[in-house]
Amino acid sequence: MQGYNVLMIYNNDMNQLLMCERLKNPYKGLSNLVGGKIENGELSIESAYRELLEETGISKKDVILHHLMDFTYYLQNCYVEVYAGRLKRDVSVTGDENVLYWSDLNKDFFDMSLYAGEGNIGHMIEQVNMVKDNILSDDNFLVVE
């Protein structure tokens, strides 16, 4: 079964979420979260950090990822691991796979005409909102200058 990861990266103020505009199918033209394929034999968390660095330039020293949830799609023979993290400081993001941008959180992330994932992005954001005081607080990381 093929594994994928999805990365929910919040800015330091927790008022914006890193998104990308998909340049190719699936979901071409729609906004999505960043992420990618888990390679055979690769630890899931290492895959998440690798994809984050490859797609955005954000490294392990910039964010602590927390494993939030998984989705298993049995009929499609794949699973998705969802990680959330809050940046320790402002960083510039760069990538050439998709167009990266910071989205305010007051959007309708359930709108499937604008966002990929059949409403899953909205669901994941709601889940983060339920636990963000625990996993994304200042107490859960050291700021490295």
Q: Where are the chain's structural domains?
A: 2-140
Angle at 141 between CA 51 and CA 50, to 5 degrees: 10
Check residues 134 and 116 and name the one with the higher pLDDT. Answer: 116
59-77 pLDDT tens trace: 999 999 999 999 999 999 9
Q: What backbone phi and psi angles, to 5 degrees, belong to 106?
A: -90, 25
Q: How confident is the model at residue 134 (pLDDT cuts 50, 70, 90)?
A: confident
Residue 143 has pLDDT above 50, yes or no: no
| CATH class (in words) of the domain with range 2-140 | alpha beta
Tell which residue, 72, 95, 85, 84, has the closest CA to residue 4.
72
| Sequence-ordered alpha helix ranges (H) in the chain | 44-56, 120-135
pLDDT one-digit tens code per residue, 84-123 = 999 999 999 998 889 999 999 999 999 999 999 999 999 9
CA 31 – CA 23 distance, rounded (Å): 10
Q: What is the pTM of this model?
A: 0.91
